[in-house]
Homo-oligomer: A and B are copies of this chain.
Amino acid sequence: MNTAKKSSVSSTLRRTRQRDAIRDVFHREHRPLRAEEVCALAKQVVPGIGLATVYRALKQLVERGELTEVRVPELDNVLYESADKGHHHHFCCRRCERILDFDGCAMKTGPLAPPGFVVESHEVYLYGVCADCAAAL
């Protein structure tokens, strides 16, 4: 889909307050975040930061392999999280709307797709109520 337009993944990528602030956000929050959330959190450090800058930074960091996009089917926005986590999947809490990682793979090892299909990767999404919300009921 993305045919790597001008993504000169080699360019220098200068160090700026904005980008530092954005990286820090992910070091503090250990869960997938929406661009808007990243922007709000980054504003605590760099008040003037704009949404466009956040989007640009997120895209670069994804290209660099520092972040990963997380698209939860039931949600409308793309989320971002650190790419330095091992293989894991996502749990979507229908109460608090948060997305949480859960380690370990829930996939069987047996035949998954019909014969003739080549499976390169997979994603699993669980929906329900997270531990916090369940405890609060």
Contact = CB atoms under 8 A, between A and B. Distances in A.
Interface of A: 1, 71-76, 91, 94, 97, 102, 106-108, 112-131, 134-135
A112 B71 CA distance: 19
Given A73-B73, A91-B113, A108-B106, A128 B120 contact: yes
Contacts of A118: 128-129, 134
Copy number in this complex?
2
Contact of A102 (B91, B106, B114, B121): B114
A134 to B, nearest CB: 5
7 contacts: A71-B74, A102-B117, A106-B112, A116-B134, A120-B127, A123-B127, A124-B125
A124 B107 contact: yes
Nearest to A75: B1
A1 B74 contact: yes
Contact of A124 (B75, B115, B122): B122
Contacts of A123: 73, 124-125, 127
Contacts of A116: 130-131, 134-135
Contacts of A107: 106-108, 124
Nearest to A116: B131
Contact of A122 (B76, B97, B126): B126
